[in-house]
Amino acid sequence: MATTNRVEPYQALADVYQRAGFAAYGEALIPALYNVLFEMDWTGRTVLDLAAGTGEVAYWLAEHGLRVTAVDSSPAMVRRARTTTSSMNLSVEYNVADVRAFRPTVTYDLALSLGSSLNYIPSLRDLEGIFRMVYAALEPKKYFIFDLMTIRGLAAAGNGDRVVSDDEGAHLILSRNQFSYETLTLTTRYTIFAGDATAWQRFDEVHLLRGYPFQAITRLLEAAGLSLVRLLTTTLEPVDDARNLEQIIIIAQKGE
């Protein structure tokens, strides 16, 4: 019988995050985004990676000669990221911190937040605070790239159960989704079974993601001094209207 442990988000998922395929999105996206940046005539050497998770974006950038500061609120995720980065003989500065409270002491040529991490931010006020922090952290005319699940996308996740990953003999991850139109939030309850046939453990995590109207996002960016310069699909196709998309990538730029 498995013992049950209720833990903070990503405390248990950190150990199975990469094997279960959660990291695949960032790993596939960052090389293509890097090409988009060069098409936009971006130059730079320093990157701030917010909500960096297990570090797949951070160490890819480090592999390509960039100096990366990575921030994540989960000690377990940062521990995994440090282990992977060290095994690759790369250097990334990792920080365990809530991105809402993080205050960089230097400026950067690029800021990133991928994997719909900003959907975890619970309020527009908190989101505005992050945008203002990013503005202060960026050099003039540099970019902030982030992605979000739209309200449509969170609603599409629906109400139901699914098997997220089944690695026989190693882990089983189940999820239960519930979307609220009243609060525009998606509650995902993960159940993680990890171990072996003789010593299974069960971990339960509750993740809360909030959807934001696209118009509110653009207003907050502008209020923080950041201008929307590109709106992209997750396959990096340009779009003019986010209303019919389930996930969007936003590229904003700091002014002079």
- Cα(91)–Cα(75) distance, rounded to whole angstroms? 18
- Cα(155)–Cα(134) distance, rounded to whole angstroms? 28
Q: What is the pLDDT along the chain (256 residues), one digit of tens a residue?
A: 455 688 999 999 999 999 899 999 999 999 999 999 999 999 999 999 999 999 999 999 999 999 999 999 999 999 999 999 999 999 999 999 999 999 999 999 999 999 999 999 999 999 999 999 999 999 999 999 999 999 999 999 988 899 999 987 789 999 999 999 999 999 999 999 987 666 788 999 999 999 999 999 999 999 999 999 999 999 999 998 888 899 999 999 999 8
Confidence (pTM): 0.94
75 and 166: one domain?
no
pLDDT tens digit sequence for 111-154: 999 999 999 999 999 999 999 999 999 999 999 999 999 999 99
- Answer whether residue 2 is part of any domain: no
- Answer whether residue 4 is part of any domain: no
Q: What is the pLDDT of residue 158?
A: 82
Q: What is the pLDDT of residue 252?
A: 98
* Contact call for residues 145 and 126 (beta carbons, < 8 A): no
110 and 234: one domain?
yes
- Answer whether residue 20 is part of any domain: yes
- Answer whether residue 3 is part of any domain: no
| Number of structural domains in the chain | 2
* Contact call for residues 251 and 217 (beta carbons, < 8 A): no
162 and 223: one domain?
no
- Answer whether residue 236 is part of any domain: yes
- Answer whether residue 186 is part of any domain: yes
CA-nearest of 116, 110, 96, 141 to 29 is 116
64 and 180: one domain?
no
- Answer whether residue 8 is part of any domain: no
Point out the domain boundary residue: 210, 225, 243: 210
Point out the domain boundary residue: 210, 229, 245: 210
111 and 161: one domain?
no
CA-nearest of 146, 135, 122, 140 to 30 is 146
Q: Give residue 93's domain range.
A: 13-150+213-254
pLDDT tens digit sequence for 162-189: 999 998 778 999 999 999 999 999 999 9
- Answer whether residue 177 is part of any domain: yes
93 and 218: one domain?
yes
Q: What is the pLDDT of residue 3?
A: 59
- Cα(200)–Cα(235) distance, rounded to whole angstroms? 38
121 and 37: one domain?
yes
How do beta strands 67-72 and 185-194 pair?
Answer: unpaired
79 and 179: one domain?
no
22 and 138: one domain?
yes
76 and 142: one domain?
yes
225 and 201: one domain?
no
How would you label 98-109 residue by residue, b for 16+ Cβ within 10 Å and e otherwise?
Answer: ebeebebeeebb
145 and 163: one domain?
no
CATH number at residue 43: 3.40.50.150
Q: What is the pLDDT of residue 196?
A: 65
